[in-house]
Amino acid sequence: MKYCPAFPKTFASLGHARGFCASFFKAYNFDHRHAGLGLLTPNVVHTGQAETVRAARAVVLNTAHARHTNRFNHPPQPPRLPEPAWINRPEASETEAHK
């Protein structure tokens, strides 16, 4: 897997594969902050918390900037939120039903 040296080349058994993947996917979706997702976890984006987390980060960055303006060339901003990406974009009625 991408950027995961711990991911085995092969698994000793189906149980080994299931055990490893269960912990790997939990960490990937709930702990790992993805650059392509504005340094958010997939879970935060999927559950609609992205704007709240970004706003909280902006408060922290603004506080740091106010306290230590000499450390910054310009006021820092948290990464932009990701744009929706679709393989097969659902109809507008389906999209609204899932909000």
Residue 1: pLDDT over 60: no
Q: For residues 78 and 57, is the Cβ–Cβ distance under 8 A?
A: yes
Task: Give the whole-angstrom CA distance, residue 60 versus residue 82.
Answer: 20
Residue 4: pLDDT over 90: no
Task: Give the whole-angstrom CA distance, residue 71 versus residue 53.
Answer: 24
Record the pTM: 0.74
- For residue 90, the model assigns a pLDDT of 84
Residue 3: pLDDT over 80: no
pLDDT digits (tens, 9 = 90+) for 15-68: 999 999 999 999 999 999 999 999 999 999 999 999 999 999 999 999 999 999
- For residue 45, the model assigns a pLDDT of 94
Domain boundaries along the sequence of the chain = 14-97
pLDDT class of 95 with cuts at 50, 70, 90: low
Q: For residues 57 and 38, is the Cβ–Cβ distance under 8 A?
A: no
Instruction: Choose among 61, 60, 99, 55: nearest CA to 81.
Output: 55
Tokens (6 digits) for 58 = 């902006």
- For residue 6, the model assigns a pLDDT of 87
